[in-house]
Structure 1
Amino acid sequence: MRLLSAFCLAFLVSFAPAFAIAPDEILDDPVLEERARGLSANLRCMVCQNQSIDDSDAPLAKDLRVLVRERLVAGDSDDEVIDYLVDRYGEFVLLKPRLGTHTLILWAAAPIALIAGVIGIAMAIRRRKMMTVDPVAAPRLSDEEKKRLEALLNSKGD
């Protein structure tokens, strides 16, 4: 019984984003609707912030979905719709920011942090290996060094 309940809950939750788009928003032309869905999946809901407007049921997300569809029906290309929304709301409306000079740090931060972490770990491992002295690998004293050491030890005892 628990397994069935868990399955039903998972099934309902997996379709929750599909309920965000109201039937009155859906375009009659399936090609335009597919383009609208593709665009709205990559646009951020300004209210929810970490959801696409396709997944959000906030009133502003609905307005943005309608706006995207209106622009597509008017004949705008996908890039023109995106540019229109970026001009109106800023780059924050994009779930994946564009690569540009102002976003270069954002795009470069993760690889740089990863490389720095790998280098840091390698240095820590190397330092740890250097700190542990292997008695077998320690250099042996030559006969001359042994005699000098013995002489020093004997003279210190006097």
Structure 2
Amino acid sequence: MASYGVPIGLGLGFAILLAILFGDRLIPAQTVDLVSVVTLSEDPGSAPILANFDRGSDSAFEAPVVFQASGWIEPDPLPVKATALISGVVDEVFVLEGESVREGDIIATLVDDDAELDLATAEASLRVTESRLVSNEADQDATRASIDAHTK
């Protein structure tokens, strides 16, 4: 019985150490409520104006802003990598940093000039290959006819 005490003690010690070091990764992430940013703009000639800044609006303040806040939200436990299937130059971006997206949502579009040139080159190569195929089939038919004529 005493011979099992040391391995069990070491196992429990490692389990406690792992729970202390990585316990926060085992606990589910907390839910967070998102709210719009509300800023207070003060025009020198009038009373302060309370304005609600929405991502969809194009309103900008000409007057100095009295209140400003910034911050960020980080994913827990690890960030998710989103990679492009092809390389290229970004043409348009449809989401802002930190905005929630779902599978299938268009995040950005790439400049497609190079892709259109590659497609035109591939189509031209296909036409050349198809014409070579027709030519080779005609040569094959002529060769078979020649062989048939010599064997009879």
Which one has a larger percent helix, Structure 1 or Structure 2?
A: 1
Q: Relative contact order: is structure 1 or structure 2 higher (C-alpha 8 Å, sep ≥ 6)?
A: 1
Which one has a larger percent strand, Structure 1 or Structure 2?
A: 2
Shorter-chain-normalised TM-score: which range? under 0.3
TM-score (norm 1): 0.27
TM-score (norm 2): 0.27
